[in-house]
Structure 1
């Protein structure tokens, strides 16, 4: 290939050389495959795809495989593209996309060096006004050299999911951050009351002062252990030790589920438009001493969408499971909890005495959730630990899977299951298997 290019330069002269230089410097939106990056196999080369033992709903004889990619991946709800990071040379990284239906490469961005070059940046997605972006972020110090270090920053690279055009935003930040994209913007928080919101479209940074949190009138616990939890279209989601509210919006005491202590709500997880909250049952209720109510609320109005009761030992404080949604958003899972928003039903999958609860890690648009028993969290499930299970969220029925089955981390809207696996060389694999016909 190099000899061919040299001949073209010799024959075509300066004009061809200029054209080659222009192509070489094109960044975002390019579809040419880079020399560096992960090894890749597709359905056109099925012999090269690792065939894992997976649920019968998926065909492990077809699909695609990426080797050596980032721990995180993100799937666009609007374009369907799957984004992942690869490690380049000299501490640089690059965001790439593929079509998960067939593994074909899409656009990729320019490579860049984050503040913490020794580990992969985190990867998220965010939607604002129906426009979607992939977001990578990293935290650390950036300076001209070791003798003149700069203040620590949160470094954000925001990519348009349509064409990969990129915007760099750097936010000075003095403590280890929490970064969330579950609302209409990028929320950076210190885990307490200091936060900043970044508009991914314009890059505008809005600092939020603790004095502007607008505590609800009469809420004595709202100023205790106050923490910014998320961002909604109406404002920040904030919690105290026992209650929570949306800044300038609604207040948990006024939307408490029937049969609960109205001053006991604790938000535990947040997705775009949805909040999972734990409530104590009302004093005097039959199961008040042993059970809590878990409810899914609309983030904009506070309205309860579905609920279920679960024994208190099943989900311990400080270890709350994260809410995971099917691509359509109709089904949700979190630890032993599952919700069908269409029927407003919820389930808690545990033994009669609260022992041996299931941990659910993913759910698809068919209403099938996958998880395992005898594990600590969803990460254990996806690592292949525990006894794998499948759950039909519509009916609440469960079924054991063969002990060697690996369950998907998610299923795309096109019916492709995404599986993680690490080989004997400690290389991470991301594999996409389509649904069986």
Structure 2
């Protein structure tokens, strides 16, 4: 069963997790370092002519690899691609954020070098959105505060950058340091604020626009409205809106914003209301799932408005052969109309949903990106299981709900926005990020 706290980098497209679908981790370790990039520098033209869908021009674009690449994410609203790369310093490795224009590859700005709390490990990075504006968040976990008299303490360090920075050594808009009692959880985009699990029953929400923090104690937070949720057992913070937490009680299968809405009020008619689960989506959405009522062999998946709980689209979906443990990743088209999440695809305007989970007759499909015209890209699991799998590229038209296979050897974009497609490519264990423009 998926954990309410686990989440791949989601509010907007977090390429570090998506690249795993294309053969790369998206968080490639880099040794040594390049010189500080000039504010006028451009990335090299794309030397690699990948086999890609017909709408992309492989003669126009740019690419990064090796020391230029590091960890990377895309910023669709800002029309940019950000990388976090390592560079040498007198007292050890330091890291720097570089933000490039998605169309030209030209450097827009670079960040001030910073140290990671965990030596030998690259910082994590994702994109969060607040009030329609994108922010770049880097975070690490480790120990700090040790001296002759004091022991080191576990801690998180978050640096938050506005996406529209300028200059060659931009300082973060906000630096947030938080204590930590355990390191088996991650900092995640909670939907409209950053969610930091600092202790077993304590969660901290970080407002990326202001840097302000709000602490929630799950032992005392008001539970979602349900008869089995009269005490705090099993309550957790599943997602965050601008002002309120979305509280989930996994044992009771209930979730909602206390005092505002709950899943019993908004659940589709054909679900078992005691089986609800919810995760943060992207662009102000939540992803919810229930089991079919009367012990049916299907799930009901839905996209919800995070503030009102309103169902924006739903679909009946075959239960997978084996339960999955990770939270679903979602990607939104730049115009906000289409949303894909692994085996699911939704048209939020027409309120239609499509499911491509494995059945007796069909192979499972998993989608990683979707364009403004409703074309979703992903892969089909052709052989093996999720650990030893062979995949093939596919695309889906959300106008018809009909998928089709792409030519063998094709690579699919992990993001599409601002007139370009972004491709994660691995060649000889060397990761590349290749950006092609749309054909005229």
The TM tier, using the shorter chain, reads 0.7 to 0.9
2:17 is aligned to none
Q: 1:351 to 1:184 in 2, by over 3 A?
A: closer
How far did 1:367 drift? 0.7
1:70 is aligned to 70
1:106 is aligned to 108
Worse-superposed segment, 163-172 or 151-160: 163-172
Say whether residues 1:321 and 2:323 are aligned partners: no
1:158 is aligned to 160
Say whether residues 1:189 and 2:197 are aligned partners: yes
1:87 is aligned to 86
Aligned residues: 392
2:246 is aligned to 237
Say whether residues 1:265 and 2:276 are aligned partners: yes
**SS of 1:374's equivalent?**
strand
Which ranges in structure 1 are unaligned for 5 or more consecutive residues?
Answer: 1-32
1:275 and 1:191 map into 2 onto residues whose CA distance is 24
The alignment's TM-score, normalised by the length of structure 1, stands at 0.81
Higher helix content, 1 or 2: 1
How far did 1:149 drift? 5.0
Q: Could you tell me whether the CA contact under 8 Å between 1:37 and 1:86 is conserved in 2?
A: no
The alignment's TM-score, normalised by the length of structure 2, stands at 0.81
1:350 and 1:371 map into 2 onto residues whose CA distance is 13
How far did 1:206 drift? 2.2
Q: Could you tell me whether the CA contact under 8 Å between 1:195 and 1:228 is conserved in 2?
A: yes
1:18-167 equivalent positions in 2, closer than 5 A: 35=35, 46=45, 49-68=47-66, 69-77=69-77, 79-89=78-88, 90-143=92-145, 150-163=152-165, 164-166=170-172, 167=174
Say whether residues 1:172 and 2:176 are aligned partners: no
Q: 1:130 to 1:321 in 2, by over 3 A?
A: closer
1:363 is aligned to 370
2:155 and 2:177 map into 1 onto residues whose CA distance is 6
2:431 and 2:200 map into 1 onto residues whose CA distance is 34
Which ranges in structure 2 are unaligned for 5 or more consecutive residues?
Answer: 1-32
Higher strand content, 1 or 2: 2
1:146 and 1:401 map into 2 onto residues whose CA distance is 62
2:211 and 2:41 map into 1 onto residues whose CA distance is 37
2:324 and 2:229 map into 1 onto residues whose CA distance is 17
Say whether residues 1:254 and 2:253 are aligned partners: no
1:382-397 equivalent positions in 2, closer than 5 A: 385-397=390-402
How far did 1:36 drift? 5.3
1:422 is aligned to 426
What are the superposed Cα offsets for residues 296-333 of structure 1, whole Å, 9 maximum, x if unpaired?
11101111000111111267242453222112221111
How far did 1:394 drift? 1.9
Which of residues 304, 308, 311 in structure 2 aligns to 1:304?
Answer: 311
Say whether residues 1:208 and 2:219 are aligned partners: no
2:18 is aligned to none
Q: Radius of gyration: which is bigger?
A: 1
1:354 and 1:191 map into 2 onto residues whose CA distance is 45
1:367-378 equivalent positions in 2, closer than 5 A: 367-374=374-381
Q: Could you tell me whether the CA contact under 8 Å between 1:180 and 1:230 is conserved in 2?
A: no
What are the superposed Cα offsets for residues 130-152 of structure 1, whole Å, 9 maximum, x if unpaired?
44321111111124669965211
Q: Could you tell me whether the CA contact under 8 Å between 2:73 and 2:127 is conserved in 1?
A: no
Q: Could you tell me whether the CA contact under 8 Å between 1:121 and 1:137 is conserved in 2?
A: yes
